[in-house]
Amino acid sequence: MRTVDWYNGKVRMIDQKLIPWSLEQVEFDSYQAVANAITDMTVRGAPAIGAAAAFGIALAAQQTPGTTASELIENLRPAAAYIRAARPTAVNLMWAVDRMMAIAQNEQASSADDIRALLLAEAQRIADDDVAINKRMGAYGAELISDGDTVLHHCNTGALATVDYGTALGVIRAAFEQGKKFHVLLDETRPRLQGARLSAWEMEQLGIPYDILPDTAAGYYMQKGEIKLCLVGADRVCSNGDFANKIGTYQVAIMAKEHGIPFYTVAPTSTVDLDLHSGADIPIEERDKAEVLAPYGHALVPPHFHARNPAFDVTPNRYLSGIVTECGIIRTPFVENLKAAVGERR
């Protein structure tokens, strides 16, 4: 079951707000509904968001009036802008929308219906490529895990964060499928608990040994010498290797550096934004304070209490041991090597 796909003329997704309590799929019949599903985190994870955005553009093309190519393209522009605004930090969303709009403006398409067919095929290609790319990253990254290791993971980067298989959890999955014996510690990842809800659920499905940790406990287990490797995902990687990921990643990176523990991010080259030169340029999404005060509707404190809720933080490249991509493991110098990897993808 893919996290996001095309089904009977609609965009179908796993509703990640319901996991681990239930596994349900929901269908969306408008690009606005797809964008809203990205915003409310029915679908989340940079690669999955990219695929959802691509299918959203394909859906808009199917439903948007226009008998000529130029009419359809003009009518698609508001849909593209609406979807791009759904979440500001994950670059895969913008990458997918831009890729789809470039296809729409292909001069070889002679009619609106040609464009509609091309867009649906391209969205499907983006989804299929994501699965293949994740498996390649998994194969490269699995070499980082040895028998007997304990691996720390933050947030959720598995099949649910992608179309299928996963990025950082895809590396863990690949190592497990190779027969390696190891243990995974999952930061719970407040305030939405992606680690406790989603990553633990995925480990249960795969049979990989794990424990959920309070976010504040990672340093304790590093100090005890239990953690041998840290693996995280990324929502945007700058040209210099600075990267944005789920809030709490930065502090994990600092503690890993203090304790001499290798720290890697796992991200496809579609998550690399060569136009941004450092993490200071990454827009950080601020979400509703209710997620902090009353996670999933369960009040922890009175609703008038003050709170802040940044969804991501930025980890400087100096804390990175490397970046696992579908082109291999990228190490310093990041500027040259990331540029080469993106060029190889293109």
Alpha-carbon distance 62 to 128, whole Å?
A: 20
Choosing from 5, 164, 235, 313, the catalytic residue is 235
CA distances to 200, 295, 303 from 292, rounded to whole Å, are: 21, 6, 10
Output the six-digit token pair for 4.
Answer: 């996001």
Output the six-digit token pair for 276.
Answer: 């941004």
Closest CA to 198 of 155, 162, 231, 168: 155
CA-CA-CA-CA torsion sign (154, 156, 161, 164): positive
**Residue 235: active-site member:** yes
Q: Token match 């979400």: residue?
A: 287
Report the Cα–Cα distance between both ends of the chain, in Å, rounded. Answer: 28
Alpha-carbon distance 50 to 297, whole Å?
A: 28
Q: What is the set of active-site residues?
A: 235
